[in-house]
A and B are shown apart, each in its own frame.
Chain A
Amino acid sequence: MNGKTIVLGVIGADVHAVGNQILNYAFTDAGFNVVNLGVMVSQEEFIEAAIESAADAIVVSSLYGHGELDCQGLRDKCDEAGLGGILLYVGGNIVVGKQPFEEVEARFKNMGFDRVFGPGTTPEAGIEALKEDLRVI
């Protein structure tokens, strides 16, 4: 255990459970305390779980193309709930259709996400980023 807690889940009306399980396994294996909320998770559930567990990061997955709608306002709500400065990640097939990743990344960063991951990202990439951002040695 590296002492860092992350809240993990698939946002919105998205029922893709396999990737969620893989991430849960990989992050746990890498030493993180994972609070996995599973699929079909609302913004409020991410936030409430992060409050109770004093989480260091919220890692949002979206695989069904509606990520842009589902993620809007999450940073604002975090700020409102006293989670100012919490690390926010998003990854998966987060937008509709094929769009240049740089544009997608810019839009989500504009929404307040610290890191944005496109399709085909390995769990290791996420782990590396978390370790860097949370200063896990």
Chain B
Amino acid sequence: MRPVLLIDFGSTYTKLTAVDLDAPRVIAHAQTRTTADIDLSAGLSKGLEVLEAQAGSLQYEARLACSSAAGGLNMVASGLVPGLTAKAAKLAAFGAGAKVIKTFSFQLTEEDAQEIARIKPDILLLTGGTDGGNSEVILHNARRVAGIPGTFPVVLAGNRQAQGACANALAGSSHPVFQADNVMPEMNRLVTEPVQRVIRQVFLERIIGAKGLSKTKALLDGIMMPTPSAVLDGLTLLSRGNRAKPGVGDLVAVDLGGATTDIYSIADGFPAGANTVLRGLTEPRVKRTVEGDIGMRFSARGVLEAAGMDAFIRLTGLSEDRITQIIEGFAMNPSALPETPDQEQMDFALAALAIRTALARHAGSLEMVYTPVGPMYQQTGKDLREVKHLIITGGALIYNKRLDEVIDLALACDDPLILTPREASFRCDRGYILSAMGLLSKYDEDTALELLLGAFGKEE
């Protein structure tokens, strides 16, 4: 037996998975309360005891961890044009597993600087200009950031010709500077991998110590990454496969939480028809978005705002007053479980409408344009209509008893111009396999893929 321990320090729970690389199989899984307020190692030790009680004493040949404890990785992104480098910066930060607290465009003002000082991000990502393009704005912003108090690191990923001057502008400041390739070196071409590598590196070297994770370092062998980043790695491997085994192809994953909803897609999503033209930024094949106003509890109001009262009335049959009342109750008391039949009905509607909204925002859209040669379509973002695999992860959904109906409703989109998956079959990530296998993929890719295919490769 060759046991490996995979740890996910969540904001509420620390999840441990023991895997035997020889079999290969998951030996045991344990979950304990995260102890971010003292030191994460306390929760970890407790979890190890639980694991040991299930599986006996194990001599782990490796211990790997990801973390979203202590708020995860909080970032602020800054770019030039909102739909171009600012969007590119935001997508890159999401893809690196960050929570993007705010995205700024154009010149940062004094007020913006004060807001960033209040936000106290873990990392600030500064972009702007294609290579050889605009250098004025990013340089202005670098000078502005240099004056912001704090020691948060700044990652530079803008116009190549302006990088040096920006680094100089920040050199005397309290902020360490890291440089990466431009996120948009040419118009509409997004290059996220280099900047994501730098963000992960900064997270590993500088953020972990500040988040109470340093003491646990002695218990670990490495690979600390933000949890969403581990989930993305797991999904990417499942989709692509490797030389030994093919993957399942294009897929979409949903992580519905109480306050936020993450959507992941691994698909090119290029236009399906010859009369469709792709517009704007070409999005990455591996894409993650986070909806900060969509969730089951704390962000329940956001779902009502986005989906509309009519949709809730249709799905629940409840009165407007009753719906508002229950949503307020959920928002005020995030740990509440549904007790009455009305609340259960609302839980069901919230889940379906939250997923539908988050999917619609993540996926691309079409716009019809009449031209002299007939109607043409302009596509912005990714066309995910033909994606057949949907993966459900995150606590709010995997224990839902009416999950089949929730998914059916969430995918039932009657707007032909919104490019969300239409007929996907779904699988549930009940054992938090995705983040664990994302971690394991850095250590033993073949085994990670085999276990992923075992968990998600077949129809449920």
Contacts and interface: CB of A to CB of B under 8 A. Distances in A.
A and B found bound together: yes
A49 B80 CA distance: 11
Interface residues of B, number: 26
Contact of A35 (B187, B277, B370, B372): B187
A102 interface: no
B130 interface: yes
Contacts of B186: 35
B317 interface: no
Contact of A48 (B81, B128, B369): B81
B134 A51 contact: yes
A100 to B, nearest CB: 24
A13 B80 CA distance: 27
A52 B371 contact: no
B371 A49 contact: no
B373 interface: yes
Interface string A51-80: 111110000000011000000000000000
A45 B279 contact: yes
A54 B135 contact: yes
A30 interface: no
Interface in B166-211: 184, 186-187
Given A13-B370, A15-B371, A40-B378, A33 B129 contact: no
A45 B132 CA distance: 19
Nearest to B129: A52
Interface string A8-22: 000001110000000
Interface in B72-124: 80-81, 83-85
Given A35-B187, A52-B133, A54-B135, A40 B81 contact: no
A13 B375 CA distance: 10
Interface in A26-57: 33, 35, 37-40, 45, 48-49, 51-55
A-B complex: 7 closest residue pairs judged by Cβ atoms = A53-B133, A13-B371, A54-B134, A48-B81, A54-B133, A13-B369, A53-B130
Interface of B: 80-81, 83-85, 128-130, 132-136, 184, 186-187, 277, 279-280, 369-373, 376, 378
21 contacts: A5-B133, A13-B370, A13-B371, A33-B132, A37-B187, A39-B277, A40-B277, A40-B279, A45-B279, A45-B280, A48-B83, A49-B84, A51-B80, A51-B81, A52-B85, A52-B184, A53-B129, A53-B134, A54-B132, A54-B134, A54-B135
Interface of A: 5, 13-15, 33, 35, 37-40, 45, 48-49, 51-55, 64-65
